[in-house]
């Protein structure tokens, strides 16, 4: 790749770092700069709702790359300095400190931001959303034994925080506006297992309930719901989803629709601009080009690496299958593929306390698999199911449901 200005990566998360290392692995030798709004070195975000909450000692960010690694790869990183404007015509990025970076190729990997609830101001001492390590520390400090923690939102983040809060001796109430927990991507049967486990741990779950008022008092916060009841809490955590960080892209005139619109090579609507990770919407060839946006750790890794290779001159298409996971108590939930693509569910009991659901399309093609169990009980079956999805396999439902049938044999067939 011939270069004079080099590569600029906006976003100091795992996606951006993976892109930078992929560029170097592809023998790109030009200048490279990662622009990171946070003052911390790039770190993993999944532990924020897990280890950062539950660790016995004082938690530290799980860094993706340290100074030595970045220096060895000749990757410059600007910490604590956000990008404020992109000039796609002049191929430059203006930073908040007034400096300017020229680029030959640009990657936008700005991720997503918590979806805010108008009633809940995160600047308040007893309210938090979870996105950064600083957010995690604020929540962790509130998780004291005997404290009542109210969590608005019954998705992955809210429930993972709930499990950690219980583990730290808190009284926990989860409020969910929809009829059940984990409505977005998790099948009802698996969501039922998760809810039952939370209830068994003492979590109070209130579905089809909305927050209509929040009253701030000296020693508590009072949450009023639509049915007129009130809850007094020591702390409120809001986890009602996320929105892609696209303001920078919009100001630059890039096409945006539920994320920065990219093609199957992760190219955005301006020349030499790419986008990857939580901030972009992209077509999935394995689902007929259906355009999606994923908030997923592995998606950030896969797309970061793909964007890096393509910025270095490759012309590779998106081929990965969506994959999600969540750890709550000793349970691990895993999903491969998009469950809403299926019209039939085939159940497979893989252990006494674990099962996998296979989701089949109308033509019999396996389009997704979801499972839950203690530890990594379902991990192998989900991985093999993912390989079957890639092959566009149409396994017989009876074979899928029988624990005696080896999934690897179906893959070989």
Give domain 7-113+242-311's CATH superfamily.
FAD/NAD(P)-binding domain (3.50.50.60)
Q: Report the relative pairing of strands 7-10 and 105-108 from DSSP bridges.
A: parallel
The predicted pLDDT at position 3 comes to 54
The predicted pLDDT at position 2 comes to 45
CATH fold of the domain at 330-397: Enolase-like; domain 1 (3.30.390)
Is residue 273 within 8 Å of residue 267, measured between CB atoms?
A: yes
**Average pLDDT of each block of 10 consecutive residues along the chain (413 residues)?**
80 96 95 96 94 89 92 95 97 96 97 96 96 96 97 97 97 97 94 98 97 95 96 97 97 98 98 98 95 95 97 94 95 97 97 97 98 96 97 96 93 85
Is residue 93 within 8 Å of residue 78, measured between CB atoms?
A: no
The predicted pLDDT at position 4 comes to 77
Please give the Cα distance from 126 to 86 (Å, whole number).
Answer: 36
- The structural domains of the chain, with segments of one domain joined by +, span 7-113+242-311, 116-238, 330-397
CATH fold of the domain at 116-238: FAD/NAD(P)-binding domain (3.50.50)
Fold: same for 7-113+242-311 and 116-238: yes
pTM for this prediction:
0.95
Within 8 A by CB and 6+ apart from 210, the residues are 175, 177, 225, 226
Angle at 282 between CA 47 and CA 258, to 5 degrees: 80
The predicted pLDDT at position 385 comes to 97
């Amino acid at each position: 790749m011939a270069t004079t200005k080099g590569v600029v990566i906006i976003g100091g998360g795992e996606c951006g770092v993976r892109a930078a290392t992929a560029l170097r692995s592809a023998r790109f030798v030009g200048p490279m700069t990662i622009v990171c709004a946070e003052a911390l070195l790039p770190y993993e975000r999944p532990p924020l709702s897990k280890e950062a909450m539950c660790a016995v000692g004082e938690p530290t960010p799980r860094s993706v790359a340290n100074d030595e690694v970045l220096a060895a790869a000749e990757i410059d990183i600007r910490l604590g300095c956000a990008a404020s404007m992109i000039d796609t015509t002049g191929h430059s990025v203006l930073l908040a400190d007034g400096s300017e970076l020229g680029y030959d190729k640009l990657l936008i990997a700005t991720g997503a931001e918590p979806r805010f609830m108008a009633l809940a101001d995160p600047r308040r001492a007893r309210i938090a959303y979870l996105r950064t390590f600083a957010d995690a520390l604020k929540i962790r400090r509130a998780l004291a034994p005997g404290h009542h923690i109210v969590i608005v939102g019954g998705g992955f983040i809210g429930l993972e925080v709930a499990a950690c809060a219980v583990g730290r001796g808190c009284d926990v109430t989860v409020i969910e506006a929809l009829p059940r927990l984990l409505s977005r991507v998790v099948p009802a049967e698996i969501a039922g297992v998760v809810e039952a486990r939370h209830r068994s741990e003492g979590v109070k779950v209130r579905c089809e309930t909305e927050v209509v008022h929040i009253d701030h008092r000296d020693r508590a916060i009072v949450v009023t719901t639509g049915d007129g009841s009130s809850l007094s809490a020591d702390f409120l955590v809001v986890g009602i989803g996320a929105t892609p960080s696209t303001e920078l892209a919009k100001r630059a005139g890039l096409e945006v629709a539920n994320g920065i619109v990219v093609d199957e090579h992760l190219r955005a609507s301006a020349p030499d601009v790419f986008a990857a990770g939580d901030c972009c919407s992209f077509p999935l060839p394995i689902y007929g080009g259906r355009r999606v946006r994923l908030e997923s750790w592995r998606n950030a890794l896969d797309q970061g690496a793909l964007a890096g290779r393509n910025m270095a001159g490759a012309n590779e298409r998106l081929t990965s299958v969506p994959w999600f996971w969540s750890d709550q108590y000793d349970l691990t939930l895993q999903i491969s593929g998009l469950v809403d693509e299926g019209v039939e569910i085939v159940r497979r009991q893989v252990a006494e306390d674990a099962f996998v659901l296979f989701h089949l399309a109308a033509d019999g093609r396996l389009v997704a698999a979801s499972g839950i169990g203690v530890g990594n009980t379902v991990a192998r079956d989900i991985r093999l199911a993912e390989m079957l999805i890639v092959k566009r396999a149409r396994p017989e439902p009876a074979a899928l449901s029988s624990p005696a049938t080896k999934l690897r044999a179906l893959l070989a067939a």
